[in-house]
Structure 1
């Protein structure tokens, strides 16, 4: 089916872009969570001192 060629490429592009977005959001959430924990620990250390 030559008519389905562009549609398949488009669906593959959407699929990979969604995977990339999910991967990036997961890494960003983990990174921001670690940064928040570090900030909280620093604040607690400053408060103790």
Structure 2
């Protein structure tokens, strides 16, 4: 998977991931942030 846009949602997802490492966020927060980034990038696929 290649992130070409690295828009605001991608930046937020990276920040949330770093906050997880510091114990400030949860794995669910990271999942939601990366889902939003993937949707922004046009990479999110349906689970159906």
TM bucket, shorter chain: 0.3 to 0.5
TM-score w.r.t. length of structure 2: 0.35
Higher-Rg member (1/2): 1
TM-score w.r.t. length of structure 1: 0.35
Identify the structure with bigger relative contact order (alpha carbons < 8 Å, sequence gap 6+). 2
